[in-house]
């Protein structure tokens, strides 16, 4: 007899698969397998698929079949450092249940890609090319002391607790986080520090490394497979006690977890936009509860969900209402309706930049569009050059010179003829960060300019090089997309300019106002950290309530107005949503499938508190040659309804060949 293991695999099937454990020396040395162990097995035509053991029994070593299916062997067992046990196993089961997924589809979250990949020997070293952080002589403000003291009381009790730390930009939230982590380490426990973006990791890690040395390490997708595996293994052995990184860092196998910090907890980057579509903030609360750990959610602009939870007493709300070192920057609203479009830079903004440069200080320009021009239009017939695969205009880029679709990756040369009339004369419409960079070079030929967007950060380490260079004062102006808006501390920045401050307000999405307010408030907070700051919002909607509230840094007024609207519509945080996306290559078939699915849902979900909206074409009806429709289920699904929904989606995939049905629990957007 030999071991027979049931394995959960990352495939969209709500079942497990049985494999025999070979009775040879390699497997005998590992010992009997247990639930949570990570194994490599063949599956279909694939020779190497990583899965997790979820059940164990015995089988005759010579058996060739089980339950009528051919019996195949486990080909590899990964070291114990990769086993998914205790709190991580519980978290995996919760994720599968809450997000309505087979357990195997959440397993990849808990191990690095290519687990067990070897890297160069030696201890894991933290390498951060950032200015040295002077952490000596820091004296906490009374509000910071209160936050640290409250955390200490929760840690002393030794039970799960959640703090929502609402601190204005520059109020010293990071120092509070570090003091709490220090308390946790002193108790012999470990910490996880989550950030919304890889770009934020180096700056924060520099401060953490200064404070905690080699006990801290970052982990994120920008690292090599070997490096990520080394950090994973070191954390499992207890050698690394503070793990820093974006949402994937939450699943690191740290021992005796005492605190999880979720910095910029409002950020939509914490929601994964591909399967499994989980939200790291929700998962952090579950892992914290399982470890009887403290979870700290911090933001200058907390999500409405978190604020309502705090007001309802589920979270402990702590405020840091004052900025350290300087007042919040003054914000000027520049009405662009009566101004010439030009290169996108208004005269007052150019003059403000000239003054800032003359004073030897730095400027950040925020424009949430990359490329040179948003659209290219034929001069003769007026046709806009569109992506042949998507219902979206191609964006013009200069380096390299091309027309590019930002959704499917299609590209074509700039010099090609108009497909409608054959003309080669085109006009560029709109702008992007490339165009702004060129305009800055024309206005300020002596200035040192850096650009931070998806196009300039493709190479490994490019985020770090650009941000570190700006932090060291090696550039005068940083222009970029929302990468420049989040969490950075640049003492030399006096001026922030926002081009098209109203850009996100017109989107047909119930979170559009919230996202716009958060983004504008966050980017404004980059100015005036050490001296008097100034912010200029360029907008065609100067009287919009979101623009007005952002200009006053008035979170309270915005929340009051937005929550009243959400409550009337029964949208989150007062109601629950589940989005179903239906896509296919044939329009008629896809639309028919969406209609049929809607009818099936309405005939099944007939009870108060549950409703089905749609189907309707998605905001972008066609992407990468797939037509897209969506449905919304409003309300919370019961366990039996979740099970029915899984079966329903599988049957529709089988009944409408080529039509894909995906689901998104608690969607962050309706795109």
- Phi, psi at residue 497, to the nearest 5°? -115, 130
> What is the percentage of the chain residues whose pLDDT exceeds 90?
62
114, 225 Cβ separation under 8 angstroms: yes
Half-sphere exposure of 126 (CA within 13 A, CB side): 26
Tell which residue, 201, 198, 199, has the closest CA to residue 216.
201
Selection from 280, 663, 305 nearest residue 511 by Cα: 305
* pTM attached to this predicted model: 0.92
For residue 542, give the nearest of 583, 588, 505, 579 by alpha carbon: 505
pLDDT of residue 126: 46
pLDDT one-digit tens code per residue, 485-526: 877 888 899 999 999 899 889 888 899 999 999 999 999 999
Domains for the chain: give ranges and CATH numbers: 2-84 (3.40.1440), 142-320 (3.40.50.300), 330-371+431-568 (3.40.50.300), 577-665 (3.30.70.600)
Average pLDDT, whole number, for the chain? 89
Q: pLDDT per residue over 644-655, tens digit each?
A: 888 888 888 888
Region class of 621: left (phi > 0), else alpha (psi between -120 and 50), else beta: alpha
Is the pLDDT confidence value at 336 over 50? yes
Neighbours of 212 (CB within 10 A): 18
User: What's the distance, CA 113 to chain centroid?
Assistant: 18
pLDDT bin (cut points 50, 70, 90) of residue 589 is very high
- 621: Cβ–Cβ under 8 A, 6 or more apart, which residues? 391, 627, 628
- Rounded Cα gap, residues 93 and 283, in angstroms: 11
At 195, is the pLDDT very low, low, confident or very high (cuts 50, 70, 90)?
very high
Using a pLDDT cut of 70, give the percent of the chain over it.
Answer: 96
Strand ranges, E, within 327-467: 330-335, 362-366, 375-378, 395-397, 402-404, 411-412, 426-429, 449-452
pLDDT at 120 > cutoff 70: no
Q: Which residues contact 269 (CB under 8 A, 6 or more apart)?
A: 196, 197, 246, 247
Distance CA 296, CA 177 (A): 8
Give the containing element (helix H, strand E) for 633: strand 626-634
pLDDT in tens, 617-664: 998 899 999 999 999 999 988 888 898 888 888 888 888 888 999 999
Whether residue 384 has pLDDT greater than 70? yes
146 band by pLDDT with thresholds 50, 70 and 90: very high
Q: How confident is the model at residue 129 (pLDDT cuts 50, 70, 90)?
A: low
Q: What is the rounded distance in angstroms from the CA atom of residue 620 to the CA atom of residue 627?
A: 9
Residue 64 has pLDDT above 90, yes or no: no
Nearest-10 crossing angle of helices 173-186, 201-212: 40
**Is residue 122 predicted with pLDDT exceeding 60?**
no
Task: Render the burial of 509-538: b for 16+ CB within 10 Å, e for the rest.
Answer: bbbbbbbbbbbbbbbbbbbbbbeebbbbbb
Q: Average of pLDDT values for 44-53?
A: 95
**C-alpha 399, offset from chain centre:** 27
Distance CA 147, CA 317 (A): 9
Report CA-CA distances (Å) from 491 to 204, 326, 363: 15, 11, 11
For residues 566 and 599, give the distance between their C-alpha atoms in angstroms, rounded to a whole number: 27
**Closest C-alpha to 666, from 630, 638, 636:** 636
DSSP 8-state symbol, 300 = S
Per-residue pLDDT tens digits for 361-380: 999 999 988 777 777 778 77
């Amino acid at each position: 007899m030999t071991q027979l293991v049931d394995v959960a695999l990352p495939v969209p099937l709500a079942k497990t698969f049985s494999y025999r454990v070979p009775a040879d020396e390699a497997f005998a040395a590992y010992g009997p397998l247990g639930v949570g162990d990570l194994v490599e097995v063949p599956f279909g035509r694939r020779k190497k698929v990583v899965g997790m053991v979820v059940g164990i029994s015995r089988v005759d070593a010579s058996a060739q079949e089980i339950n009528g299916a051919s019996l195949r062997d486990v080909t590899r067992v990964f070291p114990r450092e990769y086993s998914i046990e205790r709190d991580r196993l519980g978290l995996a089961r919760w994720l599968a249940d809450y997000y309505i997924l087979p357990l195997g589809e959440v397993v990849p979250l808990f191990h690095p890609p290519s687990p067990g990949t070897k890297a160069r020997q030696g201890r894991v070293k933290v390498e951060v090319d950032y200015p040295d952080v002077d952490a000596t002589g820091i004296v906490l403000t009374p509000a910071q002391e209160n936050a640290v003291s409250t955390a200490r009381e929760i840690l002393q009790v030794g039970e799960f607790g959640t703090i929502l730390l609402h601190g204005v930009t520059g109020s010293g939230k990071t120092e509070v986080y570090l003091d709490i982590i220090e308390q946790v380490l002193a108790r012999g426990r470990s910490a996880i520090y989550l950030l919304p973006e890889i770009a934020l990791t180096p700056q924060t890690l520099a401060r953490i490394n200064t404070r905690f040395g080699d006990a801290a390490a970052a982990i994120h997708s920008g690292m090599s497979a070997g490096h990520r595996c080394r950090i994973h293994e070191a954390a499992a052995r207890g050698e690394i006690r503070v793990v820093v990184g974006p949402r994937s860092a939450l699943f690191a196998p740290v021992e005796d977890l005492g605190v999880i910090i979720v910095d910029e907890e409002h950020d939509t980057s914490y929601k994964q936009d591909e399967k499994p579509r989980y939200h790291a903030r929700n998962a952090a609360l579950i892992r914290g509860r399982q470890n009887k750990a403290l979870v700290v959610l911090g933001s200058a602009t907390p999500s409405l969900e978190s604020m309502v939870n705090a007001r309802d007493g589920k979270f402990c709300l702590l405020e840091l209402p004052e900025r350290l070192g300087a007042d919040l920057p003054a914000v000027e609203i520049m009405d662009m309706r009566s101004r010439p479009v030009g290169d996108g830079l208004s005269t007052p903004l150019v003059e403000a930049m000239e003054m800032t440069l003359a004073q030897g200080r730095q400027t950040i320009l925020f424009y949430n569009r990359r490329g040179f021009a948003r659209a290219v239009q034929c001069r003769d017939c007026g046709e806009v050059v569109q992506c042949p695969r998507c219902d979206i205009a191609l964006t013009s880029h200069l380096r390299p010179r091309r027309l590019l679709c930002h959704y499917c990756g299609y590209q074509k040369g700039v010099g090609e003829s108009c497909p409608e009339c054959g003309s080669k004369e085109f006009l560029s419409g709109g702008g992007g960060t490339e165009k702004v960079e060129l305009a800055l070079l024309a206005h300020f030929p002596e200035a040192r300019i850096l650009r931070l967007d998806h196009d300039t950060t493709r190479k490994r380490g490019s985020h770090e090089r650009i941000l570190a260079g700006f932090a060291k004062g090696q550039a005068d102006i940083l222009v970029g997309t929302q990468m420049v808006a989040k969490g950075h501390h640049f003492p030399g920045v006096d001026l922030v300019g926002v081009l098209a401050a109203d850009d996100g307000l017109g989107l047909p999405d119930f979170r559009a106002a919230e996202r716009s307010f958060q983004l504008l408030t966050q980017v404004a907070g980059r100015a005036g950290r050490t001296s008097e700051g100034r912010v200029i919002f360029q907008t065609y909607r100067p009287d919009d309530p979101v623009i007005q509230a952002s200009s006053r840094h008035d979170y309270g007024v915005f929340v009051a107005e937005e929550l009243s609207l959400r409550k009337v519509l029964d949208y989150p945080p007062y109601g629950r949503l589940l989005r179903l996306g239906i896509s296919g290559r044939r329009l008629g078939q896809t639309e028919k499938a969406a209609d049929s699915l809607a009818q099936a849902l309405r005939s099944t979900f007939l009870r108060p508190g549950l409703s089905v909206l749609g189907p309707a074409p998605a905001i972008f009806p066609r992407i990468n040659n797939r037509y897209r429709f969506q449905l919304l289920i409003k309300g919370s699904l019961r366990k039996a309804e979740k099970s029915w929904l899984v079966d329903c989606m599988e049957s529709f995939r089988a009944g409408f060949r080529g039509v894909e049905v995906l689901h998104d629990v608690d969607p962050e957007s309706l795109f």
